[in-house]
Amino acid sequence: MTTEGAAQVALEALARFEARLLEVERSVAELAALVLHRPHIPASKSTRWGTPRDLFAALDAEFGPFDLDPAADDELHVVECYFTEAMNGLLLPWFGRVFCNPPYGDEGVWVYKALLELALGHCSRVVFLVPSKTSVSWWHELVEPAKARGECEVRFLEGRLTFRGAKSCAPFASTVLVFERKA
């Protein structure tokens, strides 16, 4: 390759990097706005649907081993390394392979955070357990486009889960979302 050709290739790579950086900067600003201005939903009993152990074991075997559970508490966590509400998993960097069963009612902001952490290269994979809310805006703004880019697998679970600590099955269906950033 000539010197001019190499310079051209370097310039194009720089332009792509700058575009990506702008995209990430915009996402950071949007996430900060979402986190700072969203109404705070305290972790009541109804938002603490503990992941069933057998489901977690199956996902850990297929997509793990997981390194981080960013939405957890001292009683309910599925990975040794976890973030609690007091630490605020929405503001800390994530790493490795992440499993997230977010507080219910607030899932969109967690999916947004996952996409940001993947874009920043902080983590390699994020697996979510969420209620099957296919009519909400975050599903259409975040999940469907990621699916179209080949960066999200959607698995609708059959039946209804009996969450950890619950006596009967949940009044809603659940979905596993597997996000991976393609290089």
Ligand X SMILES: C[S@@+](CC[C@H](N)C(=O)[O-])C[C@H]1O[C@@H](n2cnc3c(N)ncnc32)[C@H](O)[C@@H]1O
- Match 């600590």 to its residue by tokens: 165
Q: Is 118 in the site for ligand X (CB under 6 A)?
A: no
Residue 101: exposure state from Cβ atoms within 10 A (0-12, 13-18, ≥19): buried
Distance CA 106, CA 47 (A): 9
Q: Is 153 in the site for ligand X (CB under 6 A)?
A: no
> How far, in Å, are 54, 78, 127, 158 from residue 60 at the CA level?
10, 10, 9, 19
Q: Is 181 in the site for ligand X (CB under 6 A)?
A: no
Residue of 24, 43, 27, 25 whose CA lies nearest to 35:
27
Q: Is 108 in the site for ligand X (CB under 6 A)?
A: no
| Listed ranges 4-12, 15-23, 57-65, 67-75: which one lies at the site for ligand X (CB under 6 A) | 67-75
Q: Is 94 in the site for ligand X (CB under 6 A)?
A: no
Q: Is 69 in the site for ligand X (CB under 6 A)?
A: yes
* SS3 label, residue 8: helix
Distance CA 26, CA 69 (A): 26
From the list 24, 34, 43, 178, which residue makes contact with ligand X (rule: CB under 6 A)?
Answer: 43
From the list 55, 59, 64, 83, which residue makes contact with ligand X (rule: CB under 6 A)?
Answer: 83
Residue 116 C-beta: closest distance to ligand X, Å: 15
Q: Is 107 in the site for ligand X (CB under 6 A)?
A: no
- Closer of 21 and 95 to ligand X (Cβ): 95
- Interface residues with ligand X (CB under 6 A)? 43, 48-51, 69, 71-73, 76-78, 83-85, 88-90, 101-103, 164
